[in-house]
Amino acid sequence: MSLNVLITSAEAVPFAKVGGMADVVGSLPAALRRLGVDARVILPGYGFINHFEHNIALLFQFNFAHRQGTAEVRVFSTVHDGVPIYFVQAYPFFGMDASVYTEWNWDVPRFIFFSQLVLATAWELRQRTEWFPDVMHVNDWHTGLIPFLLRENAQRDAWAGVGSVLSIHNMGYQGDRAGGFLFDAGIPGRDHPA
């Protein structure tokens, strides 16, 4: 039985690249698949990604209840280098963007929301395709909240055995000073001193 790994990131070549993280996330999954790991990638569905050029199609939609209301989420997919790639769009956070990163006071809530969407999308994948990650590989601060969310959801049997790995690509960008944004997202104060 193969290990299922869901790699989460803000960037991956050839879809969205700002720095070296995109190169790693763009190449690691194919290498893992050659070793027998069922590696897949989930990215924000940025508005600038050319769906026609990358043969990206709508896979499914679902509603996601969060602290500020309910978002209609659209999950798109393609296969690149033999790797299934998922793109998650939910307005206004992802779907109309002209760039990967914007201003700090917008990026922090966007990527907190994306981290929450990753778990919701993985759950939907389980319901619709029977695929579910054994490990979530998170990259930099953009998806660094996911291990916390996994721990918070561990009481649900499906999440109890899901592990996590964090890769730090650039120590200069830590995503610190996010305390108020975390509070707004419903993350209890005991878990973030900022």
Domains and CATH numbers, the chain: 4-191 (3.40.50.2000)
First to last CA, the chain: 42
Mean pLDDT lowest among 2-11, 123-132, 158-167, 171-180:
171-180
- CA-to-CA distance for 132 and 134, rounded, in angstroms? 7
- Residue in 135, 138, 76, 131 with CA at minimum distance from that of residue 112: 138
Helix H or strand E segment including 72: strand 69-80
CB 79 within 8 A of CB 39: no
| CA-based R_g, the chain, Å | 16
pTM above 0.85, yes or no: yes
- The pLDDT value given to residue 192: 46
